[in-house]
Amino acid sequence: MDAVERLLAIEAIRKTKGTYWYALDMKDWDRFASVFTEDALIDMRDEVAFGAGKTLTDPPSAQEALAAGDPAVSRGNKVFAAMISVALRSWKTVHHGHEPIIDIDSADEGRAIWPLFDYIDDGTRALMGYGHYHETYCRQPNGEWLISSMRLTRLRADGEYPRLGT
Protein backbone atom coordinates (compact mmCIF):
# COMPACT_ATOMS: atom_id res chain seq x y z
CA MET A 1 0.00 0.00 0.00
CA ASP A 2 1.53 3.31 -1.05
CA ALA A 3 1.12 6.66 0.71
CA VAL A 4 -1.85 7.79 -1.41
CA GLU A 5 -3.69 4.51 -0.85
CA ARG A 6 -3.01 4.80 2.88
CA LEU A 7 -4.41 8.35 2.97
CA LEU A 8 -7.48 7.26 0.99
CA ALA A 9 -8.05 4.44 3.48
CA ILE A 10 -7.76 6.87 6.40
CA GLU A 11 -10.30 9.21 4.79
CA ALA A 12 -12.66 6.29 4.15
CA ILE A 13 -12.43 5.31 7.84
CA ARG A 14 -13.15 8.92 8.84
CA LYS A 15 -16.24 8.89 6.61
CA THR A 16 -17.43 5.63 8.16
CA LYS A 17 -17.13 7.03 11.68
CA GLY A 18 -18.78 10.31 10.67
CA THR A 19 -21.68 8.32 9.25
CA TYR A 20 -21.86 6.37 12.53
CA TRP A 21 -22.27 9.55 14.61
CA TYR A 22 -24.73 11.15 12.22
CA ALA A 23 -26.89 8.02 11.98
CA LEU A 24 -26.80 7.55 15.77
CA ASP A 25 -27.94 11.11 16.50
CA MET A 26 -30.56 11.08 13.70
CA LYS A 27 -31.77 7.62 14.81
CA ASP A 28 -31.38 6.29 11.29
CA TRP A 29 -30.95 2.67 12.40
CA ASP A 30 -30.50 1.14 8.94
CA ARG A 31 -27.71 3.60 8.16
CA PHE A 32 -26.28 3.02 11.64
CA ALA A 33 -26.14 -0.76 11.07
CA SER A 34 -24.53 -0.21 7.66
CA VAL A 35 -21.25 1.12 9.12
CA PHE A 36 -20.52 -2.21 10.84
CA THR A 37 -19.57 -5.57 9.40
CA GLU A 38 -22.29 -8.20 9.68
CA ASP A 39 -20.27 -9.97 12.40
CA ALA A 40 -18.98 -6.87 14.24
CA LEU A 41 -18.02 -7.43 17.88
CA ILE A 42 -19.30 -4.62 20.13
CA ASP A 43 -17.98 -4.31 23.69
CA MET A 44 -19.79 -1.83 25.94
CA ARG A 45 -18.61 -3.33 29.27
CA ASP A 46 -16.47 -0.32 30.19
CA GLU A 47 -19.41 2.00 29.51
CA VAL A 48 -21.78 -0.09 31.63
CA ALA A 49 -19.26 -0.32 34.48
CA PHE A 50 -18.53 3.42 34.36
CA GLY A 51 -22.25 4.21 34.49
CA ALA A 52 -22.50 2.08 37.62
CA GLY A 53 -19.54 3.88 39.22
CA LYS A 54 -17.21 0.91 38.77
CA THR A 55 -13.98 0.23 36.92
CA LEU A 56 -13.28 -2.96 35.00
CA THR A 57 -10.07 -4.64 36.09
CA ASP A 58 -8.75 -7.58 34.12
CA PRO A 59 -12.01 -8.49 32.35
CA PRO A 60 -12.23 -11.58 30.16
CA SER A 61 -11.88 -11.02 26.41
CA ALA A 62 -14.91 -9.71 24.56
CA GLN A 63 -15.27 -13.12 22.86
CA GLU A 64 -15.28 -14.87 26.27
CA ALA A 65 -17.79 -12.37 27.65
CA LEU A 66 -20.02 -12.87 24.62
CA ALA A 67 -19.87 -16.66 25.02
CA ALA A 68 -20.78 -16.27 28.70
CA GLY A 69 -23.86 -14.23 27.76
CA ASP A 70 -22.70 -10.82 28.97
CA PRO A 71 -25.41 -8.41 27.70
CA ALA A 72 -22.84 -5.58 27.34
CA VAL A 73 -21.13 -7.49 24.51
CA SER A 74 -22.90 -8.19 21.23
CA ARG A 75 -22.09 -9.55 17.81
CA GLY A 76 -23.59 -8.33 14.57
CA ASN A 77 -24.48 -5.00 13.05
CA LYS A 78 -28.24 -5.56 13.13
CA VAL A 79 -28.18 -6.91 16.70
CA PHE A 80 -26.29 -3.84 17.92
CA ALA A 81 -28.49 -1.41 15.98
CA ALA A 82 -31.62 -3.02 17.45
CA MET A 83 -30.19 -2.84 20.97
CA ILE A 84 -29.18 0.82 20.63
CA SER A 85 -32.47 1.80 18.99
CA VAL A 86 -34.35 0.56 22.08
CA ALA A 87 -31.90 2.05 24.59
CA LEU A 88 -31.89 5.50 22.95
CA ARG A 89 -35.49 5.43 21.73
CA SER A 90 -36.49 8.90 22.94
CA TRP A 91 -33.16 10.39 23.96
CA LYS A 92 -31.70 13.50 22.38
CA THR A 93 -28.06 12.79 21.60
CA VAL A 94 -25.11 14.69 20.21
CA HIS A 95 -21.88 12.83 19.45
CA HIS A 96 -18.61 14.48 18.41
CA GLY A 97 -15.38 12.73 17.57
CA HIS A 98 -12.05 14.49 17.53
CA GLU A 99 -8.62 13.97 15.98
CA PRO A 100 -8.46 10.21 15.70
CA ILE A 101 -5.36 8.09 15.76
CA ILE A 102 -5.79 5.89 12.68
CA ASP A 103 -3.40 3.12 11.70
CA ILE A 104 -3.66 1.13 8.50
CA ASP A 105 -2.28 -2.31 9.31
CA SER A 106 -2.71 -3.86 5.87
CA ALA A 107 -4.54 -3.30 2.61
CA ASP A 108 -7.75 -4.54 4.27
CA GLU A 109 -7.34 -3.87 8.01
CA GLY A 110 -7.09 -0.76 10.12
CA ARG A 111 -7.66 0.47 13.64
CA ALA A 112 -8.50 3.76 15.27
CA ILE A 113 -8.89 5.47 18.61
CA TRP A 114 -11.46 8.24 18.47
CA PRO A 115 -11.63 10.81 21.29
CA LEU A 116 -15.30 11.33 22.09
CA PHE A 117 -17.58 13.98 23.51
CA ASP A 118 -21.26 13.16 23.79
CA TYR A 119 -24.34 14.77 25.23
CA ILE A 120 -27.25 12.47 26.02
CA ASP A 121 -30.59 13.59 27.45
CA ASP A 122 -33.76 11.65 28.23
CA GLY A 123 -35.77 14.76 29.10
CA THR A 124 -35.18 14.50 32.86
CA ARG A 125 -31.52 13.49 33.12
CA ALA A 126 -28.63 14.65 30.97
CA LEU A 127 -25.00 13.71 30.71
CA MET A 128 -21.95 15.18 29.04
CA GLY A 129 -19.46 12.39 28.51
CA TYR A 130 -15.83 12.16 27.51
CA GLY A 131 -13.96 9.06 26.44
CA HIS A 132 -12.65 7.04 23.53
CA TYR A 133 -13.85 4.59 20.93
CA HIS A 134 -11.31 1.82 20.23
CA GLU A 135 -12.12 0.25 16.88
CA THR A 136 -10.92 -2.08 14.19
CA TYR A 137 -11.93 -1.74 10.56
CA CYS A 138 -12.12 -4.13 7.64
CA ARG A 139 -12.17 -3.12 3.99
CA GLN A 140 -14.99 -4.80 2.10
CA PRO A 141 -14.80 -6.17 -1.45
CA ASN A 142 -16.54 -2.99 -2.69
CA GLY A 143 -13.73 -0.89 -1.12
CA GLU A 144 -15.80 0.42 1.78
CA TRP A 145 -14.21 0.38 5.25
CA LEU A 146 -16.54 -0.89 8.00
CA ILE A 147 -16.21 -1.18 11.77
CA SER A 148 -15.43 -4.78 12.68
CA SER A 149 -15.02 -4.25 16.42
CA MET A 150 -15.75 -1.44 18.82
CA ARG A 151 -15.08 -0.80 22.50
CA LEU A 152 -16.21 2.38 24.25
CA THR A 153 -14.32 3.67 27.29
CA ARG A 154 -15.18 6.65 29.47
CA LEU A 155 -12.82 9.07 31.17
CA ARG A 156 -15.36 11.42 32.70
CA ALA A 157 -19.05 12.13 32.81
CA ASP A 158 -20.77 15.28 34.03
CA GLY A 159 -24.43 14.99 34.98
CA GLU A 160 -26.63 11.95 35.37
CA TYR A 161 -26.91 8.97 33.05
CA PRO A 162 -30.30 8.96 31.35
CA ARG A 163 -32.53 5.97 32.01
CA LEU A 164 -32.29 3.26 29.37
CA GLY A 165 -35.29 2.87 27.14
CA THR A 166 -37.08 6.02 28.27
> Does residue 165 carry a pLDDT above 70?
no
Nearest to 43 by CA among 153, 157, 160: 153
Architecture in CATH of 3-159: Roll (3.10)
Cα 38 to the chain's mean position, in Å?
15
What is the chain's alpha carbon radius of gyration, rounded to the nearest angstrom? 16
* 53-94 confidence digits (pLDDT tens): 898 888 999 999 999 999 999 999 999 999 999 988 889 999
CB-hemisphere CA count at 13 Å for 120?
A: 25
Q: For the segment 132-150, what is each residue's pLDDT rounded down to a tens digit?
A: 999 999 999 999 999 999 9
23 and 32 Cβ atoms separated by less than 8 Å: yes
Per residue in 27-62, pLDDT (tens digit) is: 999 999 999 999 999 999 999 999 888 988 889 999
Whole-model pTM over 0.85: yes
Domain limits of the chain? 3-159
